[in-house]
Amino acid sequence: MSHVAASVFIPDDSTTDETVHPPAGGAPEPASAPARALRPRERLRERGVGQLADAELYALVLGSGVAGRSAVRLGRALARRAPSELARWPLARWLTLAGIGPARASALCAAFELGRRAAERPVPGMAIRGPDDVLPHVRDLATARREHFVVLLLNARHEMQRREVISIGSLNASIVHPREVFLPAIMESAASIVLVHNHPSGDPEPSEEDLSITRRLVEVGDLVGIGVLDHVVVASRGLVSFRARQLL
Protein backbone atom coordinates (compact mmCIF):
# COMPACT_ATOMS: atom_id res chain seq x y z
CA MET A 1 0.00 0.00 0.00
CA SER A 2 2.82 2.47 0.81
CA HIS A 3 4.40 1.79 -2.60
CA VAL A 4 1.12 2.62 -4.35
CA ALA A 5 0.65 5.85 -2.39
CA ALA A 6 4.15 7.04 -3.23
CA SER A 7 3.70 6.23 -6.90
CA VAL A 8 0.64 8.43 -7.37
CA PHE A 9 2.09 11.50 -5.68
CA ILE A 10 3.38 14.20 -7.97
CA PRO A 11 7.20 14.19 -7.74
CA ASP A 12 8.53 17.22 -5.91
CA ASP A 13 11.62 19.20 -6.67
CA SER A 14 14.96 18.97 -4.93
CA THR A 15 14.66 22.22 -3.01
CA THR A 16 15.02 21.59 0.71
CA ASP A 17 14.69 25.03 2.17
CA GLU A 18 11.34 26.23 3.54
CA THR A 19 11.22 29.54 1.69
CA VAL A 20 9.27 30.28 -1.46
CA HIS A 21 10.65 33.00 -3.70
CA PRO A 22 8.17 35.46 -5.19
CA PRO A 23 7.27 35.11 -8.88
CA ALA A 24 9.52 36.80 -11.42
CA GLY A 25 8.53 40.40 -11.98
CA GLY A 26 6.89 40.71 -8.55
CA ALA A 27 7.42 43.61 -6.24
CA PRO A 28 10.73 43.57 -4.30
CA GLU A 29 10.72 42.26 -0.75
CA PRO A 30 10.28 44.90 1.95
CA ALA A 31 13.35 46.35 3.62
CA SER A 32 12.72 44.24 6.71
CA ALA A 33 13.92 41.14 4.89
CA PRO A 34 16.41 42.22 2.23
CA ALA A 35 18.72 39.24 2.47
CA ARG A 36 16.25 36.38 2.06
CA ALA A 37 12.90 35.42 0.65
CA LEU A 38 10.10 35.38 3.18
CA ARG A 39 8.47 32.20 4.40
CA PRO A 40 4.71 31.78 3.75
CA ARG A 41 3.59 33.02 7.19
CA GLU A 42 5.88 36.04 6.93
CA ARG A 43 4.67 36.84 3.41
CA LEU A 44 1.09 36.54 4.62
CA ARG A 45 1.72 39.06 7.39
CA GLU A 46 3.63 41.53 5.22
CA ARG A 47 1.93 41.16 1.82
CA GLY A 48 -1.56 39.79 2.51
CA VAL A 49 -3.06 36.45 1.55
CA GLY A 50 -3.77 37.53 -2.02
CA GLN A 51 -0.06 37.75 -2.76
CA LEU A 52 0.69 34.14 -1.82
CA ALA A 53 1.28 31.51 -4.48
CA ASP A 54 -0.85 28.35 -4.51
CA ALA A 55 2.06 26.35 -3.09
CA GLU A 56 2.34 28.71 -0.13
CA LEU A 57 -1.38 28.51 0.59
CA TYR A 58 -1.24 24.71 0.58
CA ALA A 59 1.78 24.83 2.89
CA LEU A 60 -0.16 26.98 5.37
CA VAL A 61 -3.12 24.60 5.31
CA LEU A 62 -0.85 21.58 5.79
CA GLY A 63 0.90 23.30 8.69
CA SER A 64 4.01 21.12 8.70
CA GLY A 65 5.86 18.69 6.53
CA VAL A 66 6.93 15.09 6.94
CA ALA A 67 10.31 13.45 7.25
CA GLY A 68 12.43 14.54 4.30
CA ARG A 69 9.72 16.74 2.79
CA SER A 70 8.76 20.20 4.08
CA ALA A 71 5.27 21.68 3.99
CA VAL A 72 6.38 24.01 1.20
CA ARG A 73 7.67 21.11 -0.89
CA LEU A 74 4.38 19.29 -0.38
CA GLY A 75 2.61 22.49 -1.36
CA ARG A 76 4.66 22.83 -4.55
CA ALA A 77 3.72 19.32 -5.55
CA LEU A 78 0.01 19.98 -4.97
CA ALA A 79 0.22 23.27 -6.87
CA ARG A 80 1.05 21.38 -10.06
CA ARG A 81 -2.62 20.48 -10.25
CA ALA A 82 -5.39 23.01 -10.80
CA PRO A 83 -7.22 24.05 -7.58
CA SER A 84 -10.52 23.29 -9.32
CA GLU A 85 -9.42 19.67 -9.71
CA LEU A 86 -8.23 19.29 -6.13
CA ALA A 87 -11.45 20.89 -4.86
CA ARG A 88 -13.40 17.90 -6.19
CA TRP A 89 -11.25 15.28 -4.46
CA PRO A 90 -12.92 13.24 -1.70
CA LEU A 91 -11.05 12.40 1.48
CA ALA A 92 -10.12 8.94 0.18
CA ARG A 93 -8.33 10.47 -2.83
CA TRP A 94 -6.22 12.72 -0.64
CA LEU A 95 -5.17 9.75 1.46
CA THR A 96 -3.52 8.11 -1.56
CA LEU A 97 -0.85 10.83 -1.62
CA ALA A 98 2.48 10.30 0.09
CA GLY A 99 2.90 12.75 2.94
CA ILE A 100 -0.84 13.44 3.27
CA GLY A 101 -2.22 11.59 6.27
CA PRO A 102 -5.72 11.73 7.76
CA ALA A 103 -5.20 15.07 9.55
CA ARG A 104 -3.78 16.87 6.51
CA ALA A 105 -6.34 15.31 4.18
CA SER A 106 -9.16 16.46 6.46
CA ALA A 107 -7.73 19.99 6.61
CA LEU A 108 -7.51 20.20 2.82
CA CYS A 109 -11.07 18.90 2.35
CA ALA A 110 -12.33 21.42 4.91
CA ALA A 111 -10.46 24.33 3.28
CA PHE A 112 -11.91 23.59 -0.15
CA GLU A 113 -15.42 23.13 1.27
CA LEU A 114 -15.25 26.49 3.07
CA GLY A 115 -14.17 28.14 -0.16
CA ARG A 116 -17.04 26.49 -2.02
CA ARG A 117 -19.57 27.65 0.59
CA ALA A 118 -18.20 31.18 0.56
CA ALA A 119 -18.61 31.31 -3.21
CA GLU A 120 -22.10 29.78 -3.25
CA ARG A 121 -23.80 31.46 -0.29
CA PRO A 122 -24.40 35.20 -0.36
CA VAL A 123 -24.04 37.12 2.84
CA PRO A 124 -27.19 37.89 4.86
CA GLY A 125 -28.80 41.22 4.07
CA MET A 126 -29.55 40.55 0.42
CA ALA A 127 -33.12 41.57 -0.44
CA ILE A 128 -35.45 38.79 -1.58
CA ARG A 129 -37.69 40.09 -4.37
CA GLY A 130 -38.43 36.86 -6.22
CA PRO A 131 -37.31 33.25 -6.76
CA ASP A 132 -34.14 34.34 -8.57
CA ASP A 133 -33.05 36.03 -5.33
CA VAL A 134 -33.83 32.89 -3.33
CA LEU A 135 -31.76 30.51 -5.45
CA PRO A 136 -28.28 31.77 -4.44
CA HIS A 137 -29.09 31.02 -0.80
CA VAL A 138 -30.20 27.43 -1.45
CA ARG A 139 -28.23 26.36 -4.53
CA ASP A 140 -26.64 23.51 -2.58
CA LEU A 141 -30.05 21.87 -2.08
CA ALA A 142 -30.53 21.25 -5.81
CA THR A 143 -28.21 18.22 -5.72
CA ALA A 144 -28.83 17.06 -2.13
CA ARG A 145 -29.62 13.36 -1.87
CA ARG A 146 -32.21 13.80 0.87
CA GLU A 147 -35.09 16.22 1.11
CA HIS A 148 -34.38 19.35 3.13
CA PHE A 149 -36.97 21.84 4.37
CA VAL A 150 -35.45 25.29 4.85
CA VAL A 151 -36.79 28.66 5.96
CA LEU A 152 -35.28 32.01 5.01
CA LEU A 153 -35.95 34.62 7.69
CA LEU A 154 -36.55 38.14 6.35
CA ASN A 155 -36.82 41.55 7.96
CA ALA A 156 -39.38 44.25 7.11
CA ARG A 157 -37.33 45.25 4.04
CA HIS A 158 -37.36 41.65 2.77
CA GLU A 159 -33.63 41.36 3.50
CA MET A 160 -32.52 37.87 4.44
CA GLN A 161 -31.34 37.62 8.03
CA ARG A 162 -30.72 33.91 8.34
CA ARG A 163 -31.21 30.52 6.73
CA GLU A 164 -32.69 27.89 9.04
CA VAL A 165 -32.79 24.16 8.27
CA ILE A 166 -36.06 22.87 9.72
CA SER A 167 -35.76 19.20 8.82
CA ILE A 168 -33.83 16.68 6.74
CA GLY A 169 -35.89 13.76 5.58
CA SER A 170 -35.61 10.69 3.38
CA LEU A 171 -35.09 10.46 -0.37
CA ASN A 172 -38.60 11.72 -1.07
CA ALA A 173 -40.07 13.17 2.12
CA SER A 174 -39.33 15.74 4.79
CA ILE A 175 -41.70 15.91 7.74
CA VAL A 176 -42.34 19.45 8.99
CA HIS A 177 -44.61 20.86 11.68
CA PRO A 178 -45.77 24.50 11.77
CA ARG A 179 -44.31 25.09 15.24
CA GLU A 180 -40.84 24.04 13.99
CA VAL A 181 -41.17 26.31 10.96
CA PHE A 182 -42.27 29.42 12.84
CA LEU A 183 -40.26 29.03 16.07
CA PRO A 184 -37.01 30.44 14.63
CA ALA A 185 -38.97 33.19 12.87
CA ILE A 186 -40.60 34.19 16.15
CA MET A 187 -37.30 33.99 18.07
CA GLU A 188 -35.58 36.21 15.47
CA SER A 189 -38.55 38.61 15.19
CA ALA A 190 -38.72 37.96 11.45
CA ALA A 191 -41.25 40.03 9.52
CA SER A 192 -41.79 37.33 6.90
CA ILE A 193 -40.36 34.05 5.67
CA VAL A 194 -39.69 32.15 2.47
CA LEU A 195 -40.18 28.39 2.52
CA VAL A 196 -37.79 26.24 0.50
CA HIS A 197 -37.45 22.51 0.01
CA ASN A 198 -35.77 20.30 -2.53
CA HIS A 199 -36.79 17.28 -4.58
CA PRO A 200 -33.93 14.75 -4.79
CA SER A 201 -35.72 13.15 -7.75
CA GLY A 202 -34.65 16.13 -9.86
CA ASP A 203 -38.23 17.15 -10.73
CA PRO A 204 -39.23 20.46 -9.09
CA GLU A 205 -42.98 20.08 -9.72
CA PRO A 206 -44.90 20.45 -6.42
CA SER A 207 -46.76 17.44 -5.08
CA GLU A 208 -50.22 17.46 -3.51
CA GLU A 209 -48.53 17.14 -0.13
CA ASP A 210 -46.41 20.22 -0.94
CA LEU A 211 -49.55 22.19 -1.73
CA SER A 212 -51.29 21.01 1.43
CA ILE A 213 -48.47 21.85 3.84
CA THR A 214 -47.99 25.22 2.15
CA ARG A 215 -51.63 26.18 2.63
CA ARG A 216 -51.41 25.17 6.28
CA LEU A 217 -48.23 27.19 6.85
CA VAL A 218 -49.71 30.25 5.18
CA GLU A 219 -52.71 30.04 7.55
CA VAL A 220 -50.44 29.74 10.59
CA GLY A 221 -48.35 32.66 9.33
CA ASP A 222 -51.46 34.80 9.08
CA LEU A 223 -52.36 33.92 12.68
CA VAL A 224 -48.94 34.78 14.15
CA GLY A 225 -48.37 37.82 11.93
CA ILE A 226 -45.43 36.44 9.94
CA GLY A 227 -46.23 36.30 6.27
CA VAL A 228 -45.15 33.48 3.96
CA LEU A 229 -43.87 35.33 0.90
CA ASP A 230 -43.17 32.26 -1.22
CA HIS A 231 -42.52 28.54 -1.24
CA VAL A 232 -39.75 27.54 -3.64
CA VAL A 233 -39.05 23.97 -4.70
CA VAL A 234 -35.51 23.43 -6.01
CA ALA A 235 -34.19 20.41 -7.90
CA SER A 236 -31.46 19.53 -10.36
CA ARG A 237 -33.80 20.28 -13.26
CA GLY A 238 -34.86 23.75 -12.10
CA LEU A 239 -37.11 25.40 -9.54
CA VAL A 240 -40.78 26.21 -9.04
CA SER A 241 -42.06 29.27 -7.19
CA PHE A 242 -45.51 28.91 -5.63
CA ARG A 243 -46.02 32.67 -5.83
CA ALA A 244 -45.08 32.78 -9.50
CA ARG A 245 -47.56 29.96 -10.10
CA GLN A 246 -50.15 31.84 -8.01
CA LEU A 247 -50.41 28.89 -5.65
CA LEU A 248 -50.14 30.98 -2.47
- Residues 93-151 have pLDDT tens digits of 999 988 888 998 999 999 888 887 776 666 666 788 899 899 888 888 888 888 999 99
Range of the domain at 222: 131-241
152 in helix, strand or coil?
strand
Domain count within the chain: 2
- Torsion, Cα 193 114 143 81, to 10 degrees, reads 160
Q: How confident is the model at residue 63 (pLDDT cuts 50, 70, 90)?
A: confident
Closest CA to 147 of 199, 77, 208, 189: 199
End residue of a domain, out of 52, 85, 120: 120
**CATH value at residue 159:** 3.40.140.10
Supply the DSSP symbol for 199.
-
The answer to whether residues 10 and 113 belong to one domain is yes
**Same domain, residue pair 161 and 186:** yes
Are 65 and 35 spatial neighbours (Cβ–Cβ below 8 Å)?
no
User: Is the residue at 247 inside a domain?
Assistant: no
Residue 221 phi/psi, 5-degree rounding, is -60, -40
